[in-house]
Amino acid sequence: MMRSLWTAASGMKAQQTAMDNLSNNLANINTTGYKKERLEFQSLLYQNIQRRTTDNEGNPKPIGAQVGLGVKVAAISTEFEQGELTNTNGDFDFAIQGEGFFMIEMPDGTTAYTRNGHFGIGMLANGYQLSTAEGYPVLDSQGNPITFDAATDVSKLSFDNYGRIMYRADDGNAYLTGVTIGAAQFNNPAGLSKIGDSYFIATAASGEARIEGQDDALTISIIKNKYLEHSSVQAVDEMVDMIITQRAYEMNSKAITASDEMLQQANNLRA
């Protein structure tokens, strides 16, 4: 009888993790570039009730006798589906339409990756740089921070649909500066490690970053200026999953209550 208690308890624990994940998705429903996360469950070990099963004549039966010992959370995977693009009219807002990630230089010198393209112009001692809301430099297609000298009028900067930076000269024409906003892709983006603030870092599971424009096998992403990518979380889907999770948690708790009552009855038996 104790087996049912532990099995149902594992179910409650797994459903609690599922509820935690659903809460995180709903909390980030308006987070720019956020990607929905999904739980993947896996059954635990099975216990053999009878290793050798035979009929009344001693012939082996085709089906054994095993009982499962519960469930566990095998993984929490990120679904990198394209989010809806929203026009913001922000001069330095960008949205990626494709498989790419913006490349960001972190304070420790490492490179992080994000789908959040809410950028701005930061001040330097001798000019300006394109940076995130936290002030981290945005990298170009060569892996260098995107900077402009002090003589640059940032109001004359413009961007095409491939992230190429142009500058409007006095003659009214826009000329390419030779700098492109960098974008990277991964063989297995689900293997990226989350470090908070909508940033990811590469891992052995994700593979090394493949820079668009340097790898001919990649399909170049569209980088739309004055747009941001909305969260891929759908409120209706999350609410339905929340109801299912709540009911599963409730059923597992009832299984524990039923097992406890059966144990109580067994303890009250009198010869």
48-89 per-position pLDDT tens digit: 877 666 777 777 777 777 888 899 999 999 999 999 999 998
In contact, 188 and 206? CB cutoff 8 Å: yes
- For residue 199, CA distances in Å to 28, 96, 163, 192, 270 come to 14, 15, 20, 10, 64
Beta strands in the chain (DSSP E): 37-43, 46-50, 65-68, 71-78, 85-87, 94-97, 101-105, 111-114, 120-124, 127-131, 147-149, 157-159, 164-168, 174-180, 183-185, 193-196, 199-201, 210-211, 222-225, 227-229
**pLDDT band (50, 70, 90) for residue 262:** confident
Task: Write the pLDDT tens digit of every residue in 25-36.
Answer: 999 999 999 999
Query: pLDDT, tens digit, for every residue of 94-115?
Result: 999 999 999 999 999 999 999 9
Range list of H helices, 151-195: none
| pLDDT tens by residue, 129-153 | 999 999 999 999 999 999 999 888 9
